Structure 1
């Protein structure tokens, strides 16, 4: 009996997928094309061969249609709207107000359009934070014409991710999240989204690079780069591999004209999965493990001084007393080279690896210390809280009136997404009433108040007491995004 070779068996399975795409898409349901293909191959003795370039006319005529039909129903459009107050052009003009009074202009509705991906049959949708940031209402439209009002469960500005929730009696179609760490440069990918609001569109390309950093989008520094066309409106859409799995959420493009020039970036699926799990567990922010250390890049001069062949890894800059890093034996000057077997090229890569780990787990680090390499185990814990978790609204007649403040702590820094060197004593502004003196004087959430009228501010109660004083002059020190400013106001 003639026995089919492993390669011909796989080609036969692919041909069946291509010829019966509609049936596979319907049969796959929430599982996606990857499970349908594995069902065809299950029970045989063959395995999918290693990656290779296509050859022959038959292979060049193969189609991505089965992948698109299986994945596209889970890619949705996200419409965000916000009411913005409009100031009259004559506001503040004594002559105009004398005759016509103060004119109230009707609010203007500001809207944004993006894409999203259903990743759970119960209605969890992943999109970009910048698509729904500050929105009063967010609606989700599916490819079959259905629309839903969604609730925002979680937003993370540093990752530019947001998790929405929609509800319906029947399960939603989903696109399963794949393993983004299994990607290699040159892998084929599809980008599915809604560019320019013209309707759902699919583009193809390859993975151009991995672990891209410092692209100016947000604080996150571990992007997948692709040449699949990603245009405005694709934000939040799916980057799909050839197994029908979402391996990234499209988030940005590099362009001087606003259109795609073949340099797009996506957030890896492994970090997306961790954020989705946080939302499912009821958190309204993405909680990262705390190690109690800060890291910086290894420069060429540092690498030479440390006897390293190349400038790679994450250099330990400082270690918090009593934290997991100190307990593990890490010291300033050590270099983290790998974590759980994965190479660490720079501090952003270490941050990415840590963020994908569960709190309470133990990570193994390969560390270069004093010229020799060693392994250390470090416990990944929750960020500690401060001595007080109280949040106080400042009253009275001061520039801080209307601001809600809380003690600065590692957990609050993480919850608010405070950037910069947010360490030491101080209180953080959590919220600001839009119609309050604090808003008029330009205070924002995430500002850190360090000192007021010569008094060091280390607790919310201290700021409240200082703000109640009958002072007409206010001198204060505020840190915003790592920049410290000193201000003097008369109020």
Structure 2
């Protein structure tokens, strides 16, 4: 329900938003998180002067009716009840609203950007969230999103024929935003299979879900792009589709024309909270891998290499004599880790894992995490212009790293309670050609404050608020101190390829 008298949104809100699609309907309001729009070249809109596709079962007839009849019985509505605790003030209200996401989760910080749009909740008020899901086996296993069932006290699913069942959460994986739930008592649920092939940009797709809690709804479009990153986690690898999907579609499936699941709806890009034709799906290959582990063990176990890496920029590639700006540049091989034991060194560029090319640090994270702990990997590196192959025995990711909000620190270069500048950094002393002082900017969010003030990849931040910084921890501490001192801007001394100058950076 919308409050027509609520105060207008602050002007600093971005008009470009990424909206989570499920469990976000707390009190009927939209939850959104910010992100860059610079996605690159897209396939065109699905229905722009394009002949209608043929159904898979009835050549010569238009529409997707046969496909929908086949798959829709496997799609479910997921409704959860959450005991929503609130850090209220003395009046019993919370001026910042109440996030339905776990504190420190990759999505909680995005919620906090939008000034109390969920309204005022009292301590431990039970709220309802809605999303979607789909059965993957006849005995009641179903897939949905992590953010749909996170902190749920109870989970109910409604099938296409209107029957309501109680479900239990088997396991969740925050980093990929996936969850496996189970309905007991039946062995003949309608279910769907995952596509084993690789979808192509331009292929027709059909999305089914529960938008706004209305019940089973079907939309069609095409795959617009692949390999999208929306700063949700180090493992971002989303399929972008233009089939209209909205809040409540989270966890719902997207099908190809053979009726196989090619992805799970998880977020949309939207200025208004509704669909504008840019949606993001977790690829079926990722879902299958995660769901298998959740079903077997209830948790996801990831392998670990033990390196800090950064993207290879055009400047770095030129300085290292590389033909392409691809790979993951090693900033540091942490002590007593698989990488250090195998001899990987700072300055090495990881170009492939087991023969699979590594285009950037996200690709490296995905390749390593997909392998089993204690397995052997062949790591191709470029060291001082010479190509080498190193055998590495991977280890299980330590528990303290699994619990870390990696999307906060690894991808965005910030931590909870520290102003988000939209950049990642690495010690200058560990980056070839960057000098010995300061921290090198390795990546910049084009919609973040840093980009708005002219900071670019390759710049070196020498000091913040008059204090020299030599690593990301010192940078974050300096920003935190400035904010705790009540400052709204902090003076940063930045060295570029041309000169050294100061920037007044807004921090809150």
- TM norm structure 1: 0.62
Q: How does 1:259-408 map to 2 (within 5 A)?
A: 259-283=274-298, 285-383=299-397
User: Partner of 1:183 in structure 2?
Assistant: 199
Distance 2:60 2:381 in 1: 47
Q: Does 1:413 align with 2:401?
A: yes
Once structures 1 and 2 are overlaid, which stretch shifts more, 60-69 or 249-258?
A: 60-69
Which whole-Å CA distance do the structure 2 matches of 1:300 and 1:88 have between them?
50
**Cα distance in 1, alignment partners of residues 294 and 313 from structure 2:** 38
- How far is 1:294 from its partner? 2.0
Matched, 1:117 2:122: no
**1:99-121 Cα shifts (integer Å, max 9, x gaps):** xxxxxx89633111111122233
1:147 deviation in Å? 1.6
Give the match's secondary structure for 1:321.
coil
Determine if contact 1:217/1:252 at 8 Å carries over to the other structure: no
SS in 1 for 2:155: strand
Higher relative contact order (CA closer than 8 Å, sequence separation 6+): 2
SS at match of 2:359: coil
Residues 157-199 of structure 1, C-alpha deviation per residue, up to 9 Å, x if partnerless?
222222212212323222212236x222222222111112222
Structure 2 equivalent of residue 9 of structure 1: none
Unaligned 5+ residue runs, structure 2?
1-49, 94-121, 411-471, 485-508
Aligned partner of 2:78 in structure 1 is 78
Q: TM-score, normalised by structure 2?
A: 0.60
| Contact 1:156-1:417 within 8 A present in 2 as well | no
* Secondary structure, counterpart of 1:231 in structure 2: coil
How many residues align? The count is 340
- Structure 2 match to 1:212: 228
Secondary structure of the structure 2 residue equivalent to 1:376:
strand
- Unpaired runs of 5+ residues, structure 1, are 1-52, 93-104, 384-409, 423-478
Using the TM superposition, name which of 340-349 and 297-306 deviates more.
340-349
| 1:41 alignment partner in structure 2 | none
* Superimposed CA distance per residue, residues 352-373 of structure 1 (whole angstroms, 9 cap, x where no aligned partner): 2223333343333332222133
- Give RMSD over aligned pairs: 3.4
Moved more, 318-327 or 204-213: 318-327
C-alpha distance in structure 2 between counterparts of 1:343 and 1:205, whole Å: 31
> Distance in 2 between the 1:151 and 1:332 partners?
46
Q: Secondary structure at the match of 1:136?
A: strand
Residues 143 and 281 of structure 1: CA distance in aligned 2, closer, same or farther (over 3 Å): same
CA contact (8 A) 2:231 2:407 kept: no
Is contact 2:84-2:123 (8 Å) kept? Answer: no
The structure that is helix-richer by fraction is 1
Which of 234, 237, 243 is the aligned partner of 1:222?
237
Q: Choose which of 178, 185, 196 in structure 2 pairs with 1:161.
A: 178
3-state secondary structure, aligned to 1:138: strand
Secondary structure at 1:279 match in 2: helix
State whether residues 211 and 349 of structure 1, in contact with CA within 8 Å, keep that contact through their aligned partners in structure 2: no
- What SS does the aligned partner of 1:183 have? coil
1:469-484 matches, cutoff 5 A: 483-484=476-477
Q: What whole-Å deviation, never above 9, does each CA across 1:317-342 have from its counterpart, x for those lacking one?
A: 21123422234442222222233343
| SS of equivalent to 1:309 | coil
